[in-house]
Amino acid sequence: MGEGDVSHVPVLVREVVGFMRPRPGCILVDATVGEGGHALALLREMGGEGCLIGLDVDGEALERARERLRDFSSALVLRRANFASLQEVLEEAGVGAVDGVLLDLGVSSLQLDSPWRGFSYRWSGRLDMRMDPDQELDAWKVVNGYEEGELARIIREYGEERWASRIARSIAVERERAPIDTTDRLAEIVKGAIPAAARRRGGHPARRTFQALRIEVNGELRNLQAVLPQAVRVLKKGGRLVVISYHSLEDRTVKRFMAGRGSRCGCDPDQECRCGKEEELRLLTHGPVRPGFEEREANPRSRSAKLRAAEKR
């Protein structure tokens, strides 16, 4: 998500509930439970009957979710795990096929607004960016340890940054003088590497570089590619997969996966498909679903959100 001062607000909640179809007795997976905003809406619709399994790699976020969802504890299972291990987690929990899987791929407000987590170019904090605070690789090691050419590749591919080579060169020069320890110093280095004319458009000049580093540190695209086929495998027939992405690389990955597993048809998504197609998924969204004007105004971090949904045949 984008930066700002908005507290944790789940994105596209009404749309998530509509596509996931929570109901008493169903089994749902919120594979990025975060602080529990979407999970709370789903559990309310389930009336506390059934089961919602919530996964997250961030232990602090899980504790917040546990507190937020305490009224539904009898229908809640929380696990600290990366969603790339979805099938393994469900097997260990003794859960077979499920009725729905939700993936909200955004960085949480808890992470963005905590300077010591090192995600934001707007705060001064140690370079970190780990969603799982226990993992070894962090942004400091990437910025100070990767070869210049590899840094340029990451910034170009994961940040879609046209000035990647210049930025990587500036980082390499500056870290020779002294290690680059903090988010604000890195942001200034990036800003100085981009031509003045280019800095005047497209938001903060460090935005794309910080996105690229975060993706590299957390293996976000690799994990997304790993979880999507698992999500389809664990779904029951008629089960729903709902994914919210926040940048073009994620959305492109989701779009291609869903398109490769199925196609839109003319059948009512709430009725049995009668068109005779053999695709594994039926697309439920005609292009991405975006937040409306009121949601974007109330929660600026929702502006880049894109929701795609599909149903298992």
- Indicate whether 256 and 136 sit together in one domain: no
pLDDT tops 90 at residue 47: yes
What pLDDT is recorded for position 266? Answer: 53
Beta bridge partners of 80: 56
pLDDT tops 60 at residue 265: no
Asked whether residue 3 is domain-assigned, the answer is no
- Indicate whether 196 and 155 sit together in one domain: yes
Domain end among 173, 193, 218: 218
Structure letter (DSSP) for residue 108: P
Please state the rounded mean pLDDT for residues 203-212.
93
Q: 262-292: buried (b, 16+ CB within 10 Å) or exposed (e) per residue?
A: bebbeeebeeebeeeeebebbbbbeebbebe
> How far apart are the C-alpha atoms of 125 and 114, rounded to whole Å?
9
Asked whether residue 36 is domain-assigned, the answer is yes
pLDDT in tens, 65-98: 999 999 999 999 999 999 999 999 999 999 989 9
What pLDDT is recorded for position 6? Answer: 38
Residue 223: which pLDDT band, with cuts at 50, 70 and 90?
Answer: very high
pLDDT in tens, 226-252: 999 999 999 999 999 999 999 999 999
The mean-pLDDT minimum among 4-13, 163-172, 220-229 falls in 4-13
- Indicate whether 185 and 207 sit together in one domain: yes
Q: How far apart are the first and last CA of the chain?
A: 32
Asked whether residue 239 is domain-assigned, the answer is yes
Strand duo 281-283 + 306-312: pairing: antiparallel
CATH number at residue 172: 1.10.150.170
Please state the rounded mean pLDDT for residues 155-176.
97
Q: 137 is in which domain, residue-wise?
A: 119-218
Domain end among 218, 247, 280: 218
Domain end among 164, 194, 218: 218
Strand duo 98-104 + 51-56: pairing: unpaired
Asked whether residue 149 is domain-assigned, the answer is yes
